[in-house]
Amino acid sequence: MPIATPAQYRAMLDAAQKGGYAYPAINVTSVITINGALRAFAEAKSDGIIQVSTGGGEFASGTAVKDAAFGAIVLAEAAHLLAEKYDVLIGLHTDHCQPKKVDSFLRPLLAASKKRIAEGKGPLFQSHMLDASELPLAENLALSKALLKECADLDIILEVEAGVVGGEEDGHDTSGVPAEKLYTTPEDMVAVYEALQPIGRFLFAATFGNVHGAYKPGAVKLKPTILRDGQKAVTDKHGAAAEMDLVFHGGSGSALSEIRETLDYGVVKMNIDTDTQYAFTRPIVTHMCQNIEGVLKIDGEVGDKKTYDPRSYLKKGELGLCERMKTACDDLKSTGQTIFGKA
């Protein structure tokens, strides 16, 4: 099955909202990580989301090129081809894009989608994220409205953020942000809904204390009830149909009880990056440690080609990532929920 069409992607989000589950959204940087994600979704019989950050796109373009938009296009085109071998639906998404990167990252990707549509194909990505949370809310929403209009014209969904996800990811460091900025208010959620709903479909990354990165249990103070209270403020004013599709950022290391609680409040997508990076790297480290004399030409020896062939350890990384993603599907209750063939 090729990557989900815009109609199928909307149906995926609708099914998750109605069914009380969410999709793992994994950041990828290579064909290997794409393959690991696709295998995981297929084995879990779960639809899912594969996403590319600006840093991931830059890496994929090559160390001599460092073009985030170009690398994102390469990864997306690869995913379109690779997904044809699997019987699940996959949405393609781009992660945090700050305002200063809109013209160099988001708009070239929208142009690539426009070109594909003119050729009779679907858009390159089904959704994009604008992270303008660094701006005052009025400025954030003004930019969000303009970009949502551009996306809606291409049948693409825009993810926006109000409030700040703490920590550091891809060089964007918010670790010094005041604690109160880590929590989106009900008033913010109403303002986001009222500004964007008339324009087109959107995803909303409301923040409730979530933090990017890896932390010991108890270090991150999540308040999922913020999502409940914000949704209530919106639906009290605009009716039950106004419940928003929410996104959980910084989910790595969160308690399962907190993850599951967010599903009750409208979370349909949870980003996975830190945990899958570790799951990919750990088996590679084990391979190196167990085969050190083979991967290194010690004391003038020739080593063992079978152990230093990158395929010998990268496939172990792919499988490690796959297993972690299947756990994420279980955690988010998307296992066995594919709508492939139904939408």
Residues assigned a catalytic role: 95
**DSSP 8-state class, residue 106:** I
Beta strands, E only, the chain: 23-27, 48-52, 90-94, 127-130, 157-162, 168-169, 172-173, 202-206, 246-248, 267-272
Task: Indicate the DSSP class of residue 102.
Answer: I
Using DSSP, state whether 27 is helix, strand or coil.
Answer: strand
In eight-state DSSP terms, residue 163 is S
- Name the residue among 40, 69, 39 with its Cα closest to residue 56: 69
On the 0-12 / 13-18 / 19+ scale of CB atoms within 10 A, 24 is buried
SS3 170: coil
Residue 246 CB neighbours (<10 A)? 26
C-alpha 13: how far from chain center:
14
